[in-house]
Amino acid sequence: MRGSGLWFCLLLFIANSLQYESPRLWPLPQTVSMSASDVYYISQSNFEFEVVGTSSEILSGAFERYYNILFSSGSGSVEGLRELTALRVTVEDMDQQFIQFQTDESYHLVINDTVSTLSAKTIFGAMHGLETFSQLVRFQSLPEAEIDDFPRFPWRGLLIDTSRHYQTLDTIKKSIRGLSYDKMNVLHWHMSDGQSFPFESLVYPNLTKGAYAPEFTYSREDVLEIISYANSYGVRVVVEFDMPSHAGPSWGKGYPFLTMNCSRIFLGCNIPTNRFTDGCNDYPFDATNEKVYEFLDKFIEEVSQVFPDNFLHMGGDEVQTACWETPHVLQWMNSHNMTNFNQLEEYFLQRVQVFAERNQKLIVNWEEVFTSGFSLVPGTIIEVWKDSTTLNEVAKAGYGALLAYNWYL
């Protein structure tokens, strides 16, 4: 009889293990209602996504992508379950084909019939709804549910640094896919730094002389491919060209007049092991040379045409002002009634801000431009990377703030 007791315990364990568990959603939507007692199943032969009205290439691509995800695992038991044959998708504004800051990303998902519904204002909201739908499905079964969702923050991003660490297109695309699956919407592309300059400029082709090697560059076609790929996943590409510091020696390899020579400040840079350290790669632009501004005016115009996002990240952090302590800079400052390097830095930033505005770009800067008390153009967003105190001060001053301290997110 002791054996029958063992069998009873085993059968009880099996029965409990087969009970349906509601899926866990990430990130948690704003409002969620699920019924684990009302469960549907989908079959690869019958299920389809339906569009109300005209579809788009981006939405069709998302359908194909999520169809493959839904049926990537084996199916469970469907006994006693109703079959869900279609998810009917309605997009209010199918004309918005490019995601921008504050694009409506909300959606409403209802699973309550054999043909269930997903509605959104834009295709980018619909894609978030498809991601949630895919998370509801486990072994081709899913619960009855109603979900209303919209992002708490309009800017949810990840920074990649392709200057200090060159990344292949496939690696960048993998990051984009990961952002999409987490419903994040910004790829902050820190394109260049003092270590290398991988961006291929058609206006100034010698800039890539500052790359690690000719094969470690991004052509115009490469960049456009990444932008298009990111947009198809609902991800914006915000490029950063840091200035006035973090410019040399890379920018100056092809155009020596652009950057200061700081070898007298950072000793030991000729030692191979120091070649790529930050100290040997934080040379600022020559902020007193008018040719530098003529150069950056044309360069920012080119960049603005390549990157369609409304924002341009212009850096502004960690300026090594000691590099400006040279006779020709000090003489120029004296003739312009400047008594300290903060004034020179602010002069530089105000000059290049005009170039961005002229190309209808809003500006993102690192927190140093705020903590230094510089005059900033309206609409500037400050990215805070040090502590929460500065974040609070930025918000109180009325600027948009990006939280990036502890992690570059």
Q: pLDDT, tens digit, for every residue of 211-242?
A: 999 999 999 999 999 999 999 999 999 999 99
Distance from C-alpha of 381 to C-alpha of 376, rounded to nearest angstrom: 10
Residue-level pLDDT at 72: 86
Specify the DSSP class assigned to residue 81.
P
Examine residue 327 and say whether the peptide bond preceding it is cis (omega within 30 degrees of 0).
no
Does position 90 have pLDDT exceeding 60, yes or no? Answer: yes
What is the average per-residue pLDDT within 96-108? 95
Residue-level pLDDT at 178: 97
- Indicate the range of 6-20, 114-128, 386-400 predicted with least confidence: 6-20
What letter represents residue 349's amino acid?
L
Q: How many other CB atoms sit within 10 Å of the CB of residue 281?
A: 24
Distance from C-alpha of 300 to C-alpha of 315, rounded to nearest angstrom: 13
Residues 6+ apart with CB under 8 A from 256: none
Sign of the CA dihedral with 215 first, then 218, 222, and 226 last: positive
Q: Which residue has the higher pLDDT, 117 or 18?
A: 117
Tokens of 361: 């770009």
Q: pLDDT category, 15, cuts 50, 70, 90?
A: very low
What is the average per-residue pLDDT within 261-287? 81
Tokens of 176: 């984009």
Q: Are 25 and 32 in contact (CB under 8 A)?
A: yes
SS (H, E, C) 19-65: CCCCCCCCCCCCEEEEEEEEEEECCCCCCEEEECCCCCHHHHHHHHH
- Indicate the range of 215-224, 287-296, 322-331, 386-395 predicted with least confidence: 386-395
Q: How many other CB atoms sit within 10 Å of the CB of residue 303?
A: 22
Residue-level pLDDT at 408: 55
Residue-level pLDDT at 5: 46
Does position 20 have pLDDT exceeding 60, yes or no? Answer: no
Question: What percent of the chain shows pLDDT beyond 70?
Answer: 93
- Indicate the range of 67-71, 100-104, 269-273, 405-409 predicted with least confidence: 405-409
Tokens of 328: 């020709």
Q: Are 71 and 44 in contact (CB under 8 A)?
A: yes
What is the average per-residue pLDDT within 314-337? 93
Which residues are identified as catalytic? 318
Residues 6+ apart with CB under 8 A from 138: 23, 76
Overall pTM > 0.95: no
What is the average per-residue pLDDT within 171-177? 98
Residue-level pLDDT at 319: 84
Q: Which residue has the higher pLDDT, 343 or 265?
A: 343
- Average predicted confidence (pLDDT) for the chain: 91
Residue-level pLDDT at 75: 67
3-state secondary structure of 91: strand
Q: Which residue has the higher pLDDT, 197 or 375?
A: 197
- Indicate the range of 12-16, 82-86, 117-121 predicted with least confidence: 12-16
Buried b (16+ CB within 10 A) or exposed e, 214-229: eeebbeeebbeebbeb
Residue-level pLDDT at 202: 98
What is the average per-residue pLDDT within 394-400? 93
Q: pLDDT category, 407, cuts 50, 70, 90?
A: low
